[in-house]
Amino acid sequence: MSEVKKEEKTPLRYYEWMIRPCMIYKDEYDDCSSIKARFHQYFIFGETIDCNQWKTDYRNCYQWEKHKSEEAYDALIKSEKQRRYNRLHAHYQNDVWERRKKPPENWNTPLPEWMQKKFENSYLHIRNKEMKQNVEVSPLDTKCTIL
């Protein structure tokens, strides 16, 4: 009989959750460098953007997955942190809105009477009442017929 190999599960590193599957890096590079994306980039930014970071990340991911290269891991984490920073930069720089720690005290108060009356005959309100009353929905209601 053949012996079943037990795979040793190595504990995850602190930032390893940031690393995407390697094929995602390749897909992002292919998408970024496609002719459609190039037209879009030129339309939005007035020039094409550099997609080489996706290619570098794919290579580093491959090195990390296959050979557990420390340099590749560090470069990949650094790249993901930079990508996250770039994506959230405008959010952190926004000083127009005051950030709150908890929801307002009256967040779940009932809607005003005029608003309840307005939505009284809406499709969602009627379906909600039917679901609460356990009314069986007619199969004719779910079909669309064009005569």
CA distances from 59 to 7, 31, 70 (A): 25, 16, 13
Is 106 a domain residue?
A: no
Quick one: average pLDDT of 66-89?
97
Question: C-alpha angle with apex 137: 112 to 119, nearest 5 degrees?
Answer: 15
Quick one: average pLDDT of 102-108?
91
Residue 142 confidence (pLDDT)? 60
Q: Which domain holds residue 85?
A: 16-93
Q: How many domains does the chain have?
A: 1
Is 29 a domain residue?
A: yes
Is 102 a domain residue?
A: no
pLDDT for 43-66, tens place per residue? 999 999 999 999 999 999 999 999
Q: Are 75 and 60 in contact (CB under 8 A)?
A: yes
Is 133 a domain residue?
A: no
Model pTM score: 0.63
Residue 2 confidence (pLDDT)? 47
Is 48 a domain residue?
A: yes
Is 81 a domain residue?
A: yes
Res. 6: pLDDT tops 60: no
Tokens linked to 109: 């108060």
Mean pLDDT of the residues in the chain = 88
